[in-house]
Amino acid sequence: MKNWLWIAGAIGLTLPGLFLRLGGIQASPQAEAALSGLSLLGAAFLLSWACAAAQIEVPQPLALAALALIAVLPEYAVDGYFAWTAANDPEYVGYATANMTGANRLLVGIGWPMVIFLCWLRGRRRASVSVESVSVEVEKDQTIELSFLVLATLYSFIIPLKGRLGLEDTVVLVALFGLYIWASSKGNVQEPRLGGPSATIGALPKPTRRLVTVLLFLFPAAVILAAAAPFAEGLLETGEVLGVDKFILVQWLAPLASEAPELMVVAIFTLAGSAGVALGTLISSKVNQWTLLVGTLPLIYTISLGGAGSLDLDSRQMEEILLTGAQSAFAIALLANLRLSPRGGAVLFLLFITQLFFTDPAVRYGYSAVYLAGALAMLLRDRGRMAGLWGMMKETAGTLRPAGRQ
């Protein structure tokens, strides 16, 4: 009953924003942003539970592709709206970049340290455990995700050098995403780990389970499509009314609505003793967003424009992409030995949280330099990390070779 109440509560979150949209009701920008954001939040919860339950029904390769696409749907809808509108208003290019970079940095800067903290908190409940003794081991199967995160991160540094996001980026990044799904589909088949509402759905008789799962895909998808535009515009108008930098609002408030359910799922995994699975979930989401989400923005822009075009980036947008890529490189170096230490988690969090208070370009470039210098220092000082990365890449390349040529 508790799990069904969770599902009912998530549906309830979607309704005010949905009524606002479908009923043509006029509201203040703040109310519109808040109610539409709650709709996105509720829809994201429903999708996460439906995704987990669907693993029982769908063949693994198809499940991997479908789940990866659905995982970024709330974020994709908002960012896609900005990219679509940018064809008529170039100012929206900045908002698309803000939302994309904010979502990517939030996963690493908040999500990864949160796993370490909750792992320590769980240990404290059972015994006297010091922070220094807590670390999270990444599961061996996650080396594929880390390998593709390396490739996507290396490519990301090309984007600010070009000063634009174009269809060539779509080709490269979407191809990386496709290869990632293909490589992952060749991994070991494992029983899905279900918990909470997804476990309740999975325990239903097969016909009922399938019906409930389909409905929990279709309804939140419709909610997300209905709420994305008013949420985005409500944020921008709120910034205008309150005199707050709209770029900052879009960069940090918009991703919170779409990432919150995933962070909660990660928290549940960690507190249940599956910290490695929790961290692996965040790594997978980072790969999805750093490839598929970024890669589809120029495509959406081109379709809206009605002809080939590219998202031209100004200096602020280029520095944000550079900073996001630098954070990703630092995070990869931390995980090169398949282990996230408390010290590494603390540094990730401190570098993330302190940069929020500085918008000066020189300071932002300074943070990028710190991330890159830290990554380089770790790899040069500990040759085992470099060897670990190289081993991951070789192993992943082996999974992409045709059968008989391993």
DSSP-derived pairing of the beta strands 164-165 and 136-137: unpaired
95 or 188, which is more confident?
A: 95
CA distance 209 to 50: 10
Per-residue pLDDT at 327: 97
Q: How high is the pLDDT of residue 61?
A: 44
| Distance of alpha carbon 46 from alpha carbon 7, whole angstroms | 7
Three-state SS sequence of 137-198: ECCHHHHHHHHHHHHHHHHHCHHHHHCEECHHHHHHHHHHHHHHHHHHHCCCCCCCCCCCHH
DSSP-based three-state secondary structure for 340: strand
Can you list the domains of the chain with their CATH numbers?
A: 2-400 (1.20.1420.30)
Q: What is the pLDDT of residue 58?
A: 61
d(C-alpha 346, C-alpha 114), whole Å:
9
Q: What is the largest CA-CA distance in the chain?
A: 63
Determine the pLDDT at residue 59.
52
- Can you tell me whether residue 134 is helix, strand or coil? coil
CA of residue 152 relative to chain centroid, distance: 14
Mean pLDDT on 221-244: 85
pLDDT score of 368 more than 60 = yes
Q: Are 69 and 47 in contact (CB under 8 A)?
A: no
Tell me, what amino acid is at 216? Answer: L
How far is it, in rounded angstroms, from Cα 368 to Cα 134? 28
How does pLDDT run across 1-23, given as a tens digit for each residue?
788 898 899 899 888 888 877 77
Q: What is the pLDDT of residues 287-343, one digit of tens each?
A: 989 999 999 999 999 999 988 888 999 999 999 999 999 999 999 999 998 889 889
